[in-house]
Chains A and B, each alone.
Chain A
Amino acid sequence: MNALHQRVTEAPEVGDLAEAAVKQVMLRGADEAQAITVHAQTFEVNFERVEVTLLRSHEQQTTEVTAFRGGKRGSSSFTGRRGLGSAVRAAVDGADAGLPDEANRVVAEGRPEATFIHGPTDCDRKEMVEAVLAYVHHVSRAHPKIRPDSSHYSFTLKRVSFANSAGLRRFAQRGAYHFYTCFAGRDGDRSASLNYTSQSAWWPLERLIEVGTLDRILRETERSFEPRPIGDKFVGDLLIAPDCVPSMIGPMVQALDGYNLRSGTTPYADALGEAVASDGITLRNRPAWMGFPNGSDFDADGVPTGDVDVIVGGRLNSFLIDRFSSIKLGRPQTAGSLNLQLEGGEASVESLIANTERGVLLGRFSGGKPNRNLDFSGVAKNAFYIEDGRIQHALSETMVSGNLGSLLRQVRGVSKEVINFGGGAYPWLAVGGATLSSG
């Protein structure tokens, strides 16, 4: 192997360690036990301004040990190979001190053993540095007012091993590349807002400027040095960019989780089968989909992940119930990891803009945590005012408020363009019913 390649160590001890942890917990008198070891080797090229500033290679190995005794549960984690004995003691002590619960038990169902191998096992360090240098040179030439900050391009080889006392064994290996960049604009005494984007991929990202939405948002930042408030308060449309979609649908997705169902703090408690969004909305959770390098093959309890249709044609098809909540609620487990895919529609982004009478292109949203009713308010960031089907100017100090549930029932367009960020995939959404104001 070329010396410039990421060092790859054979790591059979990853699986051995999880199994050894389970054995030791059982020897200390536990009724059941489980352990998960995550070993990750990363090579990372960091850049700021228009310079590569740091090469970082790091290795992480964390083992989480869980003991079950008398229906109670305790966990402890440690890094590296040492520390197993004290972690086992802490987990068993924690279980002894815990509270009994019917949900405190290991998974006994499913295939006893499963192995998942995805992606490459090594990277070419020199090529990665050169890709970043090419990108920063491009930015300095084509976008001289852009200042990258805290940005990096990395390769991580991650191995996850799970074992429990019921005989389940799981092993997953994922090698993937990840790019993240944050930047602001600076032109003399004027600054333009921070923006950022990211992408994960199984294979090297040869031309970083082509990553996801990057080229578009760089250009938008260059057009944002003279932002203006929106003027009078009005109810209008939002054209939500793919980078911004997770922050707008995230609180709704959280309202579908097992905890909120148990506590009665979700507005969707009785909404299964009901229309919760416009019929153009289809949302899936796809942790095991090969389109998502940042996905996962099994959850922290060793349960294999799979596709779940959460909303289909606007109707709520499934809650997102983790294993603990599924036992408490007496309902099937439907979630353990979250990697959302919002299906694309028929419209072009240009037509969504052209069909907006008055509203805001929302690049990012900076908001307070929505309340449990999903009422929200916050500031439109990286945003532009749209009137009569045309983008007019960049916005400053513009508040957006409304109810996220209501917005999703007023979707009037979904773009056919879908950006796969590597852990989630989202189109543009055009929604109505947002209250927009300045000052």
Chain B
Amino acid sequence: MIETIKKYRDSFGGYTELRLQSNHQVQVVLKEGSLVVNRTATSSGVSARCYDAGSFGFSSTPEVDEAGIVRVIQEASANARLLGQIAGAKEPPLPELGPGRGNYDYHTVRRKWTSSELLALIQEVDGHLRGKHPQLLSVDVGVVSLAMEKALVTSIGAETYSYIPRANLYVNLAMEHKGDIVEVGRVFGGFGELEDHFQDVPALIADLDHLYDLLAQKAGGVVPRAGVADVILHPDVAGILAHEAIGHTCEADLVLGGSIAGAYRGRQVASEKLTLVDYMARSPDGQASIAIHVDDEGTPCRDVTIIENGVLKGFLHSKETARIMGVEPTGNARAYRFSDEPLVRMRNTAIVPGDDTLEDMISSIDHGYYLVRPTNGQADATSEFMFGIGLGYEINNGKLGPAIRDTTVSGVAFDMLKTVTHISKDTVWSRGGMCGKKQPIPVGMGGPAIKCRISVGGV
């Protein structure tokens, strides 16, 4: 891919990024035993973005040929000039951290599955669940894989290729219990391709039986008591907290757009035990669900410590936000499709592990909740957040109690994080995770379990 666009670098008239990109997707969905989606998709094209004295211009086309590439370079440049003429901006050049280079190819080394082999896997999962658990009201099984393949050259010398795959299998189960419909879902897989994750079908089947057991527990579960409670957030919930409630408020474009984090820099915003980082690549443990080495502006990525020992330290930057705030870019500018411009996005965002054990954390709570699986999450510029909880347990007298029904938890992150008293030793990364912000983008989130106080919805 890189060879296709390299030769056009000499035609750049000023600051220019030229990106060739293909997103490769597979999507197969079995609902109620009917194959409702069975498709592959390739979205390919080329884009250019130019910068001229404070004005950006962008252009893209799906036609990856000489005419198409020349046209997007010219049109992006013309758009930047047009904006400069009308808006009259006069800004300095963009800051640079040296050109990002490298080849980051994560293609699977395994033989690729045929469509028949993939469908056989899904049918086996569906058939097992329906056969062994006839009490189930509905079974939905789906596979989604996305590999983002990008080549980038820039006028300042960045030259990089990446192929970043992620593959997931989703299972949602529902059953009826005393007139109510109760559901649980789980995402399997993660970084890599389908063939990297689902070779061990017996292990997957065992996990599915466990998922059914969780559904049965939830069906007989209790509705939590509304109010502020001591809770333990499982890493899946702590991860969404790190992403939604902290990460977004510390994206520099949102800081410039009014986020409360702008006022808190250098202040204590969390317990001294808490450090939170947005990691480049696949994080230090090599287990995060995405990998970003060079961003889509050609900046080599670096880890960004957002909170260190409870103090708000840093923000996530593109070249533009770095220019405005007078700092170095951090390699957080990412685009989803070939036709998208880079935006400030998170990579792998997580709380750094502590030294507590989950057992000690549970035994430290007289009455509270262990919140295990989020359904969704949203946060605000004020750091007020909300997460849906699809699976959790009561904690009574230091022991896990009955499962709880669906609930919602909420709070103000920069207040709530000051209540963190325990952080577990282990890190768990999410298997999937898409973030929405003008464009969708795959993100990684995770970390340890944390103990804190949070507002729980209920009766």
Give me the interface of A with B, judged by CB distance under 8 Å. 4, 46, 48-49, 51-62, 64, 72-83, 86-87, 90, 93-99, 101, 103, 125-126, 129-130, 133, 147-150, 152, 182-186, 188-194, 233, 259, 262-265, 324, 328, 366-369, 371-373, 375, 377-379, 381, 396-397, 399, 401, 437, 439
Contact = CB atoms under 8 A, between A and B. Distances in A.
Given A60-B339, A184-B259, A366-B378, A397 B31 contact: no
A57 B263 contact: no
Interface string B377-409: 010111010111100000000000000011110
Contacts of A98: 35, 38, 115, 119
B115 A399 contact: no
A213 B44 CA distance: 37
Given A79-B45, A399-B457, A191 B39 contact: no
Interface centre among A55, A130, A379 (most CB of B within 10 A): A55
Given A97-B116, A147-B257, A189-B263, A55 B56 contact: yes
B58 A54 contact: yes
A62 B36 CA distance: 20
B388 A54 contact: no
B114 A97 contact: yes
Interface centre among B31, B40, B256 (most CB of A within 10 A): B40
B38 A57 contact: no
A233 to B, nearest CB: 7
B7 interface: no
Contacts of A46: 341
Interface stretch (B74-82, B146-154, B305-313): B74-82
B263 A191 contact: yes
Given A148-B257, A369-B375, 12 more contacts: A55-B80, A58-B61, A75-B39, A75-B40, A78-B43, A79-B43, A82-B63, A93-B114, A126-B86, A190-B260, A191-B262, A192-B381
Contacts of A401: 408, 457
A368 B375 contact: yes
Contacts of B378: 366
A54 B50 CA distance: 10
5 contacts: A53-B56, A79-B62, A99-B35, A193-B382, A233-B226
A62 B42 CA distance: 9
B262 A265 contact: no
Contact of A129 (B34, B83, B253): B83
B411 interface: yes
A265 B82 contact: no
B417 interface: no
Size bin of chain B's contact surface? 35 or more
B427 interface: no
B59 interface: yes
B64 interface: yes
Rank and list the top 5 A-B pairs by shortest CB-CB distance, nearest first: A368-B388, A149-B257, A184-B258, A80-B62, A97-B115
B57 to A, nearest CB: 5
Contact of B39 (A48, A94, A194): A94
Interface centre among B42, B119, B375 (most CB of A within 10 A): B42
B41 interface: yes
Contact of B386 (A95, A125, A366): A366
A74 B406 CA distance: 36
B47 A58 contact: yes
B434 interface: no
Contact of B58 (A55, A90, A129, A377): A55
Contact of B341 (A56, A366, A369, A381): A56
Given A80-B62, A264-B138, A265-B174, A368 B87 contact: no
A129 B60 contact: no
A81 B87 contact: no
A214 to B, nearest CB: 16
Contacts of A182: 257
Nearest to B340: A58
B455 A265 contact: no
Given A101-B34, A372-B183, A192 B382 contact: yes
Contacts of B80: 55
B83 A55 contact: yes
A439 B228 contact: yes
Contact of B31 (A57, A193, A263): A263
Contacts of B4: none
A375 B138 CA distance: 19
Contact of B388 (A58, A101, A152, A369): A369
Contact of B57 (A55, A72, A371): A55
Given A55-B83, A263-B138, A399-B410, A74 B259 contact: no
Nearest to B388: A368
Contact of A184 (B39, B257, B410): B257
Contacts of B119: 97-99
A186 B261 CA distance: 11
Given A193-B380, A372-B181, A83 B457 contact: no
Nearest to A263: B138
B77 to A, nearest CB: 11
Contact of B376 (A56, A369, A381): A369
Nearest to A49: B256
A15 B145 CA distance: 30
